[in-house]
Amino acid sequence: MTKNLYPPFGLAQYHRNRHDNNAIERCMRNVAVGRKNYLFCGSHDAAQRAGLLYSLLVTCKLNNVNPYNWLKDVLSRDINEMPINQIKTLLPYNWKEQ
């Protein structure tokens, strides 16, 4: 009798119209796995360096920059010879592949 009174609320109807959050959960998986792994950096300074590197690599990903090519190019340059006003060109969102 209840089925006839409230047909849109049946289980089959729920499965047909449900909203899926798997895409956001897949994006957040890296954060959850990383949070567990960051506990084992060895020291506070090492954890800060790892966080800095991870944030730069994620910035590469967000700006469609290949992290390997960016890191290889930046580390191969002699940064001591670069003028201080051009250092920002090495950041992933300003970097251009040559």
pLDDT digits (tens, 9 = 90+) for 1-23: 555 555 555 555 555 556 667 77
The model's pTM is: 0.56
| Distance (Å, whole) CA 11 – CA 33 | 34
| Distance (Å, whole) CA 21 – CA 23 | 6
| Distance (Å, whole) CA 11 – CA 48 | 49
Overall residue count recorded for the chain in this entry: 98
pLDDT of the residue at 72: 93
pLDDT digits (tens, 9 = 90+) for 42-97: 888 888 888 888 888 888 888 889 999 999 999 898 888 889 998 888 888 888 77
pLDDT of the residue at 55: 84
The answer to whether 80 touches 86, Cβ cutoff 8 Å, is no
